[in-house]
Amino acid sequence: MNIRILEKDENSIKFILEDVDVAFTNSLRRIILAEVPTMAIDDVIIIENSSPLFDEIIAHRLGLIPLKTDLDAYVLPEKCECGGEGCANCQVALTLEVEATDGPMTVYSGHLKSQDPKIVPVSEKIPIVKLAKGQKLVLEAYARLGQGKEHAKWQPVSVAAYKYLPIINLDYEKCDQCGACVEACPREILELKNGELVIGDVFNCNLCKSCEEACDLEAIKISFDDRTFIFTIEGTGVLPPERILEEAVKILAEKADQLIEEMEKVKGT
């Protein structure tokens, strides 16, 4: 197994994963989407709401606000010592109190005041509701760790996807430089330079085979390497992408451990 990072920034990562099968890669992708825990608001107590929106719509919008997650300080409620009732190890309280005193105003995610300075909205500019003069919104919200399989608001990523490494085979003997494939490629990978067909960024190929179809001489062939993947992760900002991957692979190892443990128990009987 070998990994080469192609691109990386604060919220996203793109890498090449070599010498693994799809089963492993897909497990990893599925764990990232459904099992890496993140923080999100799950319980809201509305104290006063004279806004035009119903309580439940506001609660739903609050739930969808991505919160920066600290996985070292919090545990999933079902794994918490409190038994899921809610304590300082598994829950964070956020409060919001806004009144439109001088005319219409918008309530933003930035108005939420968190009990823990580490658990704050990823962006302060997510609108929640617009208030007219005199309207008021006062509430208490409780955020907890959760998993994407329960609700999409707990997904740490907006994109976690992979594709096989494309292989573009060009038969220079057959090619007559007609340029039909250059026209056909939706990703503009191919180019005619001084009467010679040049292959550009292979990673960008989406394996559509439009070039193959366009070529009457069968000079261009598209295939892929099914043991090499281009893996893309776009985080929502709740966790750094490298942490998301580390957590995912940790969860997979835990699953394997549990399976070994359970099977050893059966073996003894």
Q: Is 6 left (phi over 0), alpha (psi -120 to 50) or beta?
A: alpha
Helices (H), 218-240: none
Scanning residues 165 to 204, which ones bind another protein (CB under 8 A)? none
The one of Zn ion, another protein, none whose footprint includes residue 56, by CB under 5 to 8 A per kind, is none
The one of another protein, Zn ion, none whose footprint includes residue 23, by CB under 5 to 8 A per kind, is another protein
Q: From CA 94, how far away is CA 91, in angstroms rounded?
A: 10
The one of another protein, Zn ion, none whose footprint includes residue 35, by CB under 5 to 8 A per kind, is another protein
Under rule CB under 5 A, residue 132 binds Zn ion: no
The one of another protein, Zn ion, none whose footprint includes residue 162, by CB under 5 to 8 A per kind, is none
Site string for another protein, 25-44 (x = CB under 8 A): -xxx-xx--xx---------
Q: Which is nearer to another protein, 157 or 190 (CB)?
A: 157
Of the candidates 123, 142, 132, 181, the residue with the CA atom closest to the CA atom of residue 39: 142
Reported in sequence order, the residue ranges of 9-103 that DSSP labels E, i.e. its strands, are 12-18, 38-49, 91-99
Q: From CA 132, how far away is CA 101, in angstroms rounded?
A: 9
Q: How far is the CB of 227 from another protein (least distance, A)?
A: 13
Q: Could you give the strand order of the β-sheet that contains 136-146, starting from the edge strand earlier in sequence?
A: 38-49, 136-146, 91-99, 113-114
Under rule CB under 8 A, residue 15 binds another protein: yes
144 contacts 91 by C-beta, under 8 angstroms:
yes
Q: Which is nearer to Zn ion, 93 or 122 (CB)?
A: 93
Instruction: Please give the distance of CA 96 from its chain centroid, rounded to a whole number.
Output: 27
Taking CB under 8 A as the criterion, the residue among 81, 124, 150, 262 binding another protein is 262
SS3 (DSSP) at 182: helix
Residues near Zn ion (CB under 5 A):
80, 82, 87, 89-90
Residues near another protein (CB under 8 A):
1-5, 8, 15, 20-21, 23-24, 26-28, 30-31, 34-35, 242, 245-246, 249-250, 252-253, 255-260, 262-264, 266-267
